[in-house]
Structure 1
Amino acid sequence: MATEQRRKAPSFTPPQVLALGFALMILSGTILLALPIAHEPGQQLTLVDALFMATSAVCVTGLAVVDVATTFNTFGEVVMILLIQAGGFGIMSLSAMMFMLTGKRIGLQERLTMQEALGSFSIAGVVKMTRTIIATTLAIEAVGAGLLFLRFLTYYPPGQALYFGVFHAISAFNNAGFDLTSQSLRTFNRDPVILVVVALLILLGGLGFSVLQDVWRQRRWERFALQTKLVLVVTGGLLVAGTLLILVLEYGNPATLGPLPLTDKFFNAFFTSVTFRTAGFESISTGKMSYAALLVAIVLMYIGASPGGTGGGIKTTTFAAITLAVRATVRGTEEIQVMGRRLPRELLDRAIAIAAMAAALVVCVGGLLLVTESHLVSDPSNPVTIADALFEATSAFGTVGLTTGVTPHLSVPGRLLIALTMYIGRVGPLTAAVALAQRR
C-alpha cells in the first residue's frame, strides 16, 4: 500500500521545482500587494497590477506600472522588499534555510535542485554553498545599508535615512532597481558616493556567489577557477566598454549627461553601464537617451549578469562561450581553448541553446507588444517605436527593469506579457523550457 502511494505521488524535476517555486512566491506576493492594507489612503491596485508588481519584485526586475513610493504604505513597501529578498535568494536557498532552521535533512532531490538553481557543475558542496550565500548576502547588504544610511543622513532625517538605506541596499544587491524616491537615483546624479556604493552592490550581486566565494578564498588570479576568471574578464570588459560608449554617445545630450561637469559625466556613465546589465536604477533618464545608446543598453541587458548571481540575461559565461566559439571558427580550429583549457562541447551547445531561445523570446515579445500596444504605437504625441518595444522586451527578459517610458502605459495584455517575460527571464529560458518538456 505504501509502495502504491509513493508511485502515485507526483515527482518533479529540479527545473520544475524552480519554476513552480517562483510561481508560488509570485502568487503569494500578488495576494499581499492586492490587500487594501498595503496601499496608501486613496490608492487602489488592480489584481493585474498586483501580479505585475509581485512578478517584478520576485524576479528582481524593477519594472513598475505604479510608483512604489506613492502607491504603497510601509506595509506594502516591506512586502516588496521581502519579495525582492526572496527572489534574490532563490527558492532553493529559502528552502535550505527552512530545512536548516527546522533541523530536517536535505535529501538528494533538494541537492539536485540546488545544483540547478546555483548553476553548479556538481551537487558536492551545494548545501555548504547555500549557507555561504545566505550569510554573504546578509553581510554585504548590511554593509551597503550602513554606507547608504550615512550618506542619506545629508538628505533625510535619521529614521528615514536608515529605512532608505536598508531598502535601497537590498534592492541594489539583488539587482531589483526599485526605489522610494519616485525619481530612481536621478536626484543623486551629482553624488558620486551614492552612485558608487549602489553600483558596487549591483556588481557584487550580479557576479554570482560562486565567483565571490572563489575570490574571497583564493585571492590570487592563478588560483581562481576557470569560471571565475571568465566572469571577471567579461564583466570588466563589458563595464569598461559600456562606460566609454555611454560617455561618448551621451556626452553632449542636454537631456542626460550634457549639463553635468566632466567628473559627474564619468560617474553617471559608469553607473549607467552597471545598471544597464542587471538593475533598473537610473541616474539619468533612459527615455531621453539617443537610439545609439539604447542599442548599447539592449546588448548589455541581453548579456546580463553571471551564473548564480541575482541578475538575468543569457549570462556572461554564455556570451564568453559563444565568443570563443566564433573565434575558434575564424581561426579554423576545432577545439575551443580558453586560458589553456578546452571548453567541453556540451557547454557550448547549452550556451547556443540559451542565446537562441533568449533572442527568439525578445523578438517575439517585442513584436507582440507592437500589437497589444497599438494605441501607443499610433499615438501622435509620443509614439512607441520598434526600438521602445525591443528595449522593453529585453529589459523584462534580462530582469533589468529599465524602460523608455512604456511600462506605466501598458494595456492589460501587455502587462501580462511583460510579467510572463520577467518570469521566464528569472527562471531562465532553458530551465523554463525543460520544466515544461520533461515529465519526470
Structure 2
Amino acid sequence: MKSKASSPFWMPIYAFLATIIAGGLILTLDVCHPGRELSLLDAIFTATSAVCVTGLAVVDTGSFFSRTGQSVILGLIQLGGLGIMTYASLVIYLLGKKVSAADRIAVSQTLIHDPSFNIGRFIVGVLAAVLSIEGVGAILLNRMDPVGFYPYSAVFHSISAFCNAGFSLYSDSLTGWKDHLGINAVFMALIIMGGLGFYVMTELWQKFRNLFSGHTSGLSAHSLTWHTRIVLETSLFLVVAGGMALFFTENIKARTGHGTGINELTALFQSVTCRTAGFNSADISGMTNLSLLIMIGLMLIGGSPGSCAGGLKTTTFRAWLGFIVSKIKGHSQIRVGWYALTEESVNRALTLLTLASVILGSAIVLLGITEGNYLPHTEARGNFIELTFEAVSAFATVGLSTGVTPGLSSPGKAIIITLMFVGRLGPVWLLTAINSWQSEPRYRVPEDDLPLG
C-alpha cells in the first residue's frame, strides 16, 4: 500500500493539496487583510483558485487584500502555473542531487508528456524563459500606462496573464483598457504564450534561433513537428473563429436595441481570454446567452498540453473532431493532420471527454440544488446558464464569471473548489492515479456484441 501511495502519479496531487492548504492558512492571517475577516473556506477557495490558476474570486483581490496578501496570491499563481513538481525537481537539480525516476515521470507528464528529456536542463530553461517573458510583459505594461500598471501592478498582471490565472487588482478586470490596442496586445501575447505549452514554445524558440543564426533557410509549417503544427493551427482557428462569433452575437444584440455591442478588439480579446485566462474587457454579465454558450465551448477546449492553461486541451479537441469526421466518412483510421491517431490516443481522448461530461454534469446538478435551481423556472430564469458557465469556468480553470461567485453558498463554494482542483490536475491524471492502486484481474469473461444506436 505504501508503494502505491507513493506512486509518481500521486506526487502532483499531494503537492497541490499541500500548497493549497498552506496558502489558505496564510491567507487567513490578519496581515493579509488588516481589519477584515476572511473565513477559512474563502481562504481555501482563494488559494485553490490561485494554485489552480483559475481566477475565480469570492472577494475583490485589489481592495480586500493587502500588498502582503496579494503577494501570497501571486506566489501561489506562479507556483501553480508551472506546477509544484517542477519547482521541487528544480531544487533537487540545483542541489546537485540525482532526480528520481518518479520525479522525471511526474514532471514530464505535466510539462511535455515526454519522459526521455533531460529534466534538469529543461526545467532551468523553462524557468529562465518564463521569468524573461513575464519580465518583458511587465515592462511593456508599465511603459504603456505607468499609472494603471505601476511596477507592482505590472508584475502582478504579467505573471497572472502568462500563467493564465486571470487574477486582477481591479474589480472590473481590464474593462478600463478595452480600447487600448497596446495593452490588449501585450495581454493576448502573454496569454497565448502561456497556453501553447512548453514543448511548443521550446521548439518555436529553437526554430527562430536557428533562423536568425543562419542555420535554416526559413520557418515553415513543414519544418515544425506534427504536435506543434496541430497546436498552432487549432489555437489560431479557435481564437479567430471565437472572436468572429462573439462579435456577431453581441452586435446583433446591439442592433435590436437590447444593449451595447463590442468592437473587434474586445471580441478578439474575449476569445483569447476564454482559453483559460480569465481576464475580461467586457461585462460578462451583460452578454447574451448565445455569447455565453460560445464562451463555454471555448473554455472547455482550453489551452494546449503541458501549458499553464486548463481545459480539455486543443489536441483533445482535434482528436475528437478527427474521430467524428472519420466515422462520418466511414474511415477506419482517425486522421489528424499528417498522421492517424493510435487506438490508445483515441481511447484517451474519448475517456477524457466522458469523464469531463460526467464531472461537469454532476457538478451542475449539485450547484442547481445548492444555489436555488430547485425553484420554478419562472423564478430562476438565467440561473441555470450562469451556474453552468461558473462550473465550466472552474473546471477549465478559466476564472470568468457572470458575477455569481461571491454569492455562492458554502456547499456551492466547495463544489467549485473541487472542480478547480480536478480541472487543474486533469480528470485523466486523477483516473490514472486511482488506477495505479488497482490491479488487472487475472481472468477474462466471455465477450459478445451488444446492439447500440
Q: TM-score, normalised by structure 1?
A: 0.92
Structure 1 window deviating more from structure 2 (250-259 vs 92-101): it is: 250-259
- Bigger proportion of residues as helix: 1
How far apart, in 1, do the equivalents of 2:242 and 2:3 lie?
50
Alignment partners' CA distance in 1, 2:306 and 2:143: 30
- Tell whether the 8 Å contact from 2:4 to 2:436 is kept in structure 1 after alignment: no
Give 1:191-206 correspondences, 5 Å limit: 191-206=180-195
Q: Hey, what does 1:65 align to over in structure 2? A: 58
How do 1:15-94 residues align onto structure 2 when only pairs under 5 Å count?
15-39=9-33, 41-94=34-87
Q: Which runs of 5+ in 2 are unaligned?
A: 209-218, 439-453
Q: Is the 8 A contact 1:17 1:113 kept in 2?
A: yes
Counterpart residue type for residue 353 of structure 1? T
Name the CA distance, whole Å, in 2 between partners of 1:376 and 1:354. 30
* Aligned pairs (5 A) from 1:26-425: 26-39=20-33, 41-153=34-146, 155-156=147-148, 161-219=150-208, 220=219, 221-253=221-253, 259=260, 265-374=263-372, 384-425=382-423
Matched residue, 2:448 = none
| Stretch of structure 1 that moved more, 408-417 or 328-337 | 328-337
User: 1:290-332: CA deviations, max 9, x gaps?
Assistant: 0000000110011011001111111000110111111111111
Inter-CA distance 137–257: structure 2 relative to 1 (3 Å threshold): farther
The answer on whether the counterparts of 1:53 and 1:64 sit within 8 Å (CA) in structure 2 is: yes
Q: TM-score, normalised by structure 2?
A: 0.89
Amino acid at match of 1:36: D
Aligned partners of 1:399 and 1:422 also within 8 Å:
yes
After TM superposition, the structure 1 stretch with the greater mean CA deviation from structure 2, 196-205 or 331-340, is 331-340
Instruction: Give, as a single letter, the amino acid of the residue that structure 2 aligns with 1:111.
Output: R
Q: Which residue of 2 aligns with 1:433?
A: 431
RMSD, aligned α-carbons: 2.2
AA aligned to 1:241 is A
Distance in 1 between residues matched to 2:37 and 2:72, nearest whole Å: 16
Q: Deviations over 1:381-430 (max 9, x none)?
A: 98552111111110000000011111110000000110010000000011
Contact 1:96 1:127 in 2 (8 A): yes
Q: Deviations over 1:62-91 (max 9, x none)?
A: 000000111100000000000000000101
Q: Secondary structure at the match of 1:432?
A: helix
Q: 1:259 to 1:374 in 2, by over 3 A?
A: closer
- The DSSP-based 3-state class of the residue aligned with 1:333 is coil
Q: Report the alpha carbon displacement of residue 377 of structure 1 after superposing the two structures with TM.
A: 5.9
How many equivalent pairs are there? 426
* Post-superposition offset of 1:253: 4.1
Identity, % of aligned pairs? 37
Q: Relative to 1, partners in 2 of residues 1:257 and 1:137: Cα closer, same or farther, differing over 3 Å?
A: farther
- 8 Å Cα contact 2:251/2:260 also seen in 1: no
Q: Distance in 2 between matches of 1:249 and 1:269?
A: 10
Corresponding residue for residue 4 of structure 1:
none
Question: Which secondary structure does the structure 1 equivalent of 2:59 belong to?
Answer: coil
| Structure 1 unmatched ranges of 5 or more | 1-6
Cα contact 1:395–1:402 (8 A) shared by 2:
yes
Equivalent residue number for residue 3 of structure 1: none
